[in-house]
Structure 1
Amino acid sequence: MIKHPNIVALDDIYESGGHLYLIMQLVSGGELFDRIVEKGFYTERDASRLIFQVLDAVKYLHDLGIVHRDLKPENLLYYSLDEDSKIMISDFGLSKMEDPGSVLSTACGTPGYVAPEVLAQKPYSKAVDCWSIGVIAYILLCGYPPFYDENDAKLFEQILKAEYEFDSPYWDDISDSAKDFIRHLMEKDPEKRFTCEQALQHPWIAGDTALDKNIHQSVSEQIKKNFAKSKWKVSPYP
């Protein structure tokens, strides 16, 4: 049913001896953060192009009545190793059909990316995905998350209040348009939050307000610091 250039396809299903095998489309370009760290040059415009692809794919899902519910950088993979490779959304383990007349209320998702209304245990809608895209856009422009605390209760408190800052010096060179775009997606009230369609029309995505200034050094340093993986510390070979 799902066919979109930025969504990992399910090619086939096999059942054998009590096991179900899902044959997924091969995506070999690696994870989003890895690619950004490896780059020598990275700009707001690069981030804008990435977010455009995510928005376009999630709008497609929403039009089909599907809510992903676990959008995060780890679920964004590059299709190939090519420099201009497209980005692919993966991992639909928590996705759900939004049936007419029914409400979504299950608390699920990944701490740090989950929308306030989910934590407030209120019925929610596809707007939760738009919040997550806002969080991803924030991280893509500074390299660290908008909400952070080692104590989950304190982390959730921040998210429930939608308390986040554009800290200096990390945001000093980022355009006002990018900040405006993020504010519209990371809007506490889901009724006022941008839909994917509205976000796709914002000048930071559809216009030319995304800056071409190289922000690679600052962003990659923060990614390594805040999203450190063992493979960045040790050799990938056994």
Structure 2
Amino acid sequence: MFLLFSCSGAFSEVVMAREKATGKMVAIKCIPKKALKGKETSIENEIAVLRKIKHENIVALEDIYESSNHLYLIMQLVSGGELFDRIVEKGFYTEMDASRLIRQVLDAVNYLHSMGIVHRDLKPENLLYFSPDDESKIMISDFGLSKMEGTGDVMATACGTPGYVAPEVLAQKPYSKAVDCWSIGVIAYILLCGYPPFYDENDSKLFEQILKADYEFDAPYWDDISDSAKDFISCLMEKDPEKRFTCDQALEHPWIAGDTALCKNIHESVSRQMRKNFAKSKWRVSRRDVIFLYHILPKTNSIAAATLHCHGHPHGD
């Protein structure tokens, strides 16, 4: 049995709770039913996807409870913090570290694709560390925009997060799981330089850059990055989705599967750019679904829960 303090919010709220029988800590996503009216398909889709998947690098749905006023999703607790925050805190960070991170993401997304699932919103905010341990694995969260292929309708809805969305989505063309591979390429780019490949204050100009796949490996930020890393990114950030690397192909690239990722410390440059580009409020995309609390509450509490309001809105197809 799980006991909570409060569950209020515009759409959803996440609390950390302790199961009384076992003492196990979990994250509980509380969704007011009144907020679901007209949006039932979205949450039903998210639950259907989460029930279908089980992977060591994907945050798991453990159970579902329902009251007269709320829907409760019992989620695996992830306590290690966000991807960029951890990198900035490090004192030593290399291409090899980035390669290992991306390999875990590729493994998980390859699994999703094999199950006929497209995430559609891969971005750094949705990549969380499982624990505070130095060697902690990375976890993919937030399946609010995910979609199962072969459900009868063609994916054509323009959704995702500006800066990470693939050109074919912006072109309003039918698209496939290749959109996730593009997003992984964008994430890999940022992991190696600390700034995004596409940026403009004006969204229409930003979208023009993405539609043209107009990005560069700028000096001096990329001078010490291997040609293999640049090739890897270019294979994923390929404008034509038919030519773009799949997860299978990316996993076989020398930068992931071989020994071409350099071990030179690039922390100073990357962390400086991350602080500059991702600490600003304009880069902090509202976390619309799961937010995990990072502290452990006192064991003396019989009701072990804390709340953190989750701003945002639900997702359509």
Task: Bin the TM-score by the shorter chain.
Answer: over 0.9
Match for residue 175 of structure 1 among 213, 219, 226:
226
Match for residue 116 of structure 2 among 36, 40, 65:
65
State the distance in 1 between where 2:62 and 2:200 align.
39
State the distance in 1 between where 2:72 and 2:188 align.
34
Paired position in structure 2 for 1:201? 252
What SS does the corresponding residue of 2:234 show, helix, strand or coil? helix
State the distance in 1 between where 2:53 and 2:223 align.
40
Aligned pair 1:16/2:67, yes or no? yes
Which runs of structure 2 are paired with 1:35-184 in the superposition (5 Å)?
A: 35-99=86-150, 102-184=153-235
Aligned pair 1:218/2:279, yes or no? no
Paired position in structure 1 for 2:41? none
Q: CA deviation at 1:19?
A: 1.5
Query: Unaligned stretches of 5+ in structure 1?
Result: 231-238
What SS does the corresponding residue of 1:77 show, helix, strand or coil? strand
Match for residue 25 of structure 1 among 76, 101, 104:
76
**Aligned amino acid, residue 71 of structure 1:** L
What SS does the corresponding residue of 1:21 show, helix, strand or coil? strand
State the distance in 2 between where 1:40 and 1:146 align.
24
Closer/same/farther in 2, CA of residues 94 and 100 from structure 1, 3 Å limit: closer
Deviations 1:98-134 (A, max 9, x none): 1165310010000000000000000000000000000
State the distance in 2 between where 1:202 and 1:93 align.
30
State the distance in 2 between where 1:101 and 1:27 align.
34
Q: CA deviation at 1:148?
A: 0.1
Closer/same/farther in 2, CA of residues 215 and 69 from structure 1, 3 Å limit: same
Q: CA deviation at 1:18?
A: 3.1
Which fold has the larger relative contact order, with Cα–Cα distance below 8 Å and residues 6 or more apart in sequence?
2
State the distance in 2 between where 1:16 and 1:133 align.
38
Paired position in structure 2 for 1:236? none
- TM-score (normalised: structure 2): 0.72
- TM-score (normalised: structure 1): 0.95
State the distance in 1 between where 2:213 and 2:224 align.
23
Matched residues, number: 230
Q: CA deviation at 1:29?
A: 0.1
**Aligned amino acid, residue 143 of structure 1:** G
Q: Following TM superposition, where does structure 1 have runs of at least 4 consecutive aligned residues deviating by more than 6 angstroms? A: none
State the distance in 2 between where 1:189 and 1:7 align.
28
Q: CA deviation at 1:229?
A: 5.2
Aligned pair 1:5/2:53, yes or no? no
Q: CA deviation at 1:138?
A: 0.1
Match for residue 227 of structure 1 among 278, 283, 287:
278
State the distance in 2 between where 1:140 and 1:2 align.
27
What SS does the corresponding residue of 1:17 show, helix, strand or coil? coil
The share of aligned pairs that are identical, in percent, is 87
What SS does the corresponding residue of 2:217 show, helix, strand or coil? coil
State the distance in 1 between where 2:280 and 2:223 align.
27
State the distance in 2 between where 1:105 and 1:139 align.
27
Query: Unaligned stretches of 5+ in structure 2?
Result: 1-51, 282-317
What SS does the corresponding residue of 1:24 show, helix, strand or coil? strand
State the distance in 2 between where 1:108 and 1:19 align.
27
Q: CA deviation at 1:20?
A: 0.8
Paired position in structure 2 for 1:235? none
Larger radius of gyration: 2
**Aligned amino acid, residue 161 of structure 2:** T
What SS does the corresponding residue of 2:100 show, helix, strand or coil? helix
